């Protein structure tokens, strides 16, 4: 295995050649980009980015850098993972400093392991730069902590679907009072998730908040309950995080709301 130590510094010139950084771009707001990722954007020769990376963040790339979209859409068109792996390896082998830029944090539902394995197999030096994941941004946006003394001593980050279809979870644990979970890619599986939770004893009145485009100017927050989850998520068109067990601080007792965040 060849990797770049976490305390290494980019010095420009030959030190950056023939290597790959895999960085998190955060949830979309360029102000939530880490300084380390910002510096990498300003130095990279090639930027291979996910579809969800905002234009404001891509604008920070070094002038003259080659910017390649490696788009992935849930249940829609996507660049095959093998092709993304091959792009990183080919550009790094040609001597480029490659930045693989992922939405949120690269280690949270970002196929980081598959890309690292491809780089290791090719003998390409790499480094991981963490980012702010969408669950953190969404919870901050509604003014709620993801953990709270006396309420939940654990937090679950879930995916709504995996390679097998709608993802099965530990529904009994999730159905317990006080449980909190952030569900990524959960719009299409909302009715499935609701059914499984109710089947395992979850209270239909459990608060649920859908945060669409967390941290971005066009963000929309929908507060609802488990009993109304499928209807509440139906209008969401952008990427959304479903915060199970959390209501917006100012709307804990309100019915479904739709509020554009300024």
Active site residues: 50, 72
Decide if 3 contacts 127 (C-beta within 8 A). Answer: yes
Among the listed residues 242, 159, 165, 254, the one whose alpha carbon sits nearest the alpha carbon of residue 205: 254
3-state secondary structure of 259: strand
Cα–Cα distances (Å) from 114 to 3, 67, 107, 235, in that order, read 15, 21, 11, 33
Task: Round to whole Å and give the CA distance between 207 and 245.
Answer: 5
E strand intervals along the chain:
19-24, 46-49, 66-69, 97-102, 126-129, 156-159, 161-162, 165-166, 181-184, 207-212, 220-225, 240-244, 257-260
Q: Enter the tokens of residue 141.
A: 């946006």
In the sheet that holds 220-225, the strands lie side by side as 156-159, 181-184, 240-244, 207-212, 220-225, 257-260
Decide if 53 contacts 101 (C-beta within 8 A). Answer: yes
Half-sphere exposure of 33 (CA within 13 A, CB side): 27
């Amino acid at each position: 295995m060849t990797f770049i130590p976490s305390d290494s510094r980019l010095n420009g010139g030959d030190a950056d050649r023939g290597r790959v950084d895999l960085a998190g771009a955060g949830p979309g707001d360029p102000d939530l980009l880490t300084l380390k990722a910002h510096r990498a954007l300003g130095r990279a020769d090639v930027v291979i980015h996910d579809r969800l990376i905002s234009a404001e963040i891509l604008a920070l790339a070094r002038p003259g850098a080659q910017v390649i979209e490696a788009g992935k859409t849930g249940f829609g068109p996507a660049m095959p993972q093998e092709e993304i792996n091959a792009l990183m390896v080919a550009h790094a082998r040609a001597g480029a400093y490659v930045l693989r830029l992922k939405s949120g944090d690269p280690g949270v539902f970002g196929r980081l392991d598959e890309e690292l394995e491809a780089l290791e197999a090719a003998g390409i030096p790499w480094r991981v730069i963490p980012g702010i994941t969408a669950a953190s941004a969404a919870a901050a946006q509604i003014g709620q902590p993801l953990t709270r003394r006396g309420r939940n001593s654990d937090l679950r980050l879930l995916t709504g679907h995996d390679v097998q279809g709608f993802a099965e979870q530990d529904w009994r644990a999730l159905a317990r009072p006080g449980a909190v979970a952030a569900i990524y890619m959960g719009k299409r599986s909302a009715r499935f998730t609701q059914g499984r939770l109710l089947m395992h004893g979850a209270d239909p009145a459990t608060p649920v908040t859908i945060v669409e485009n967390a941290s971005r100017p066009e963000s929309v927050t929908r507060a609802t309950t488990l009993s109304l989850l499928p209807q509440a998520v139906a209008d969401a068109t952008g990427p959304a995080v479903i915060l199970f067990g959390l209501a917006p601080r100012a709307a804990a007792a309100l019915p479904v709301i739709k509020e554009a965040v300024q």
